[in-house]
Amino acid sequence: MTAKKIHLSTRPSTLLVTAILLIGAVSGFLTPAVASNRAFDNLVVIVMENHGLGEIEGTAIFMTSLAQNYSLATHYSALTHPSEPNYLALLGGNTFLSGDGNCCWQISAPNIVDSIEGAKMSWKAFAEDASGSGTCSFNPPRAADHFGFLEFSDINTPSRCGKLVATTSSDDSEFVAELNSPDPANFIWLTPNDCNNMHDCSIATGDAYLAALVPRILASTTFVTRNAALFILFDEGRSSYPNDYVYASWSGPAVRRHYQSQNQYTHYSFLKTLETIWGLSSLTANDGNASPITEFFTNTPGPSSNTPLAAFLASPWTILAIGGGIGVFVLAMLKYKSRRAAKGPRALVSLANHIPRL
């Protein structure tokens, strides 16, 4: 498809380019995100393992860069040890159990799946290298220890088990396919395997895993065309509540850029955030009394459909990265002033040259 030539005004002007993702060479149609009154309509959650914020920040090069370019909650605390009670808190507003290895279907309590379905929204939970995909025999490598959905008895139904999906750890193709589907779930969870999540392997290994996966998430149809957010966090660190601070970073088109907060948050705050933004009821007093993590979101409507820029974005286009190469470029509210006409893709390439690569 031949790229459409773009003629900018010859008089002094300001071009606002918002949330364009460029990956090497890209062609096709780009649809601006639908304006929403909510901070986000689609959420992806990835939970990593067993490292405190101080171990990650500055050491994990990609994760540090992602947090610097988007956002980081520097005082987000895990609740307890070991892993499983923290996962249950994220999904059910209570730690429920005191240890790992408790699987399966034994907790009869409201959970986030009940809330999401009650609001007529959709969900899907992925686990790397699991067996029994889409069935109630679903079995991730660590069972429920890192996948708390398996503990709630009311998820043990064919319709709900059908949303428990295995994804291949080498490329997470099934998970990424969901993000590029015409109707992605509103809530998407990913549990990496015990190497990719840093449980058994090094920080560098987990960082490299995210460095390969996150750009594909941010370049997916969900994140390019919808009001979406990505939340990457750890289940627990090396300290004790309320100071067991873990890496907790939001990114994506719905998220504020270059933003850090020292406000105190916990895993219950994660639930409170969904409840606040999506209008869900509290599950327990724990999440009901928690502080929502709403300060990280822009809630800025997309470009108006009657502007020349929006018309251009909905037209066929081709963009080449400066000097070739593969990477994700984010053009966000960049102001470009020119007294001379700019023609064709060269104008966008010139702009892209000034955008840091994640």
List the domains of the chain with CATH numbers.
13-32+303-352 (no CATH), 42-296 (3.40.720.10)
Give the residue among 63, 91, 90 at the shortest CA–CA distance from 79: 90
Q: Mapping DSSP to helix (H, G, I), strand (E, B) and coil, where does residue 97 land?
A: coil
Alpha carbon of 269 to those of 53, 216, 344: distances in Å?
17, 27, 47
- The pLDDT, as a whole number, for residue 138 is 98
- pLDDT of 113 > 50? The answer is yes
Q: Which residues, 6+ apart, have CB-to-CB distance to 43 below 8 Å?
A: 186, 187, 188, 228, 229, 230, 231, 274
In angstroms, the CA 155 to CA 143 distance is 15
- pLDDT of 214 > 50? The answer is yes
Q: Cα dihedral angle (58, 64, 67, 68), rounded to 10 degrees? A: 70
For residues 224 and 30, is the Cβ–Cβ distance under 8 A? yes
- The pLDDT, as a whole number, for residue 27 is 29
For residues 234 and 86, is the Cβ–Cβ distance under 8 A? no
Q: Which residues, 6+ apart, have CB-to-CB distance to 153 below 8 Å?
A: 105, 106, 107, 108
Q: Which residue has the higher pLDDT, 336 or 186?
A: 186
* Helix, strand and coil percent figures for the chain, each rounded to 5: 30, 25, 50
In angstroms, the CA 140 to CA 191 distance is 9
Which of 95-109, 209-223, 285-299, 338-352 has the least mean pLDDT? 338-352
Pairing of β 248-251 and β 42-48: unpaired
Q: Residue type at 89?
A: A
Angle at 184 between CA 181 and CA 187, to 5 degrees: 150
H or E segment at 308?
A: helix 308-313
Side-chain-facing half-sphere of 269: CA atoms under 13 Å: 20
Give Cα 291 distance to the centre of its chain.
Answer: 20
Going by the DSSP 8-state scheme, the letter that residue 59 receives in this structure is: T
Q: Compute the mean pLDDT over every residue in the chain, rounded to the nearest whole number.
A: 81
Q: Cα Rg for the chain, rounded, in angstroms?
A: 21
Q: Residue type at 96?
A: F
To which residue do tokens 């010139």 refer? 350
In angstroms, the CA 311 to CA 26 distance is 18
- Going by pLDDT thresholds of 50, 70 and 90, the confidence category of residue 145 is very high
Q: Which two tokens stand for residue 171?
A: 């490329």
Identify the bridge partners of residue 209 per DSSP, sorted by sequence position.
Answer: none
- The pLDDT, as a whole number, for residue 36 is 64
Name the burial class of residue 74, with classes exposed (0-12), middle (13-18) and buried (19+) by CB atoms within 10 angstroms of its CB.
middle
Identify the bridge partners of residue 228 per DSSP, sorted by sequence position.
Answer: 42
- The pLDDT, as a whole number, for residue 101 is 81
Going by the DSSP 8-state scheme, the letter that residue 146 receives in this structure is: T
In angstroms, the CA 92 to CA 151 distance is 10
Instruction: Give Dmax (Cα) for the chain.
Output: 68
pLDDT in tens, 166-210: 999 999 999 999 999 999 999 999 999 999 999 999 999 999 999
In this prediction the pTM is: 0.77
Q: Which two tokens stand for residue 283?
A: 């599950």
- The pLDDT, as a whole number, for residue 100 is 85
- pLDDT of 318 > 60? The answer is no
To which residue do tokens 């043990």 refer? 156
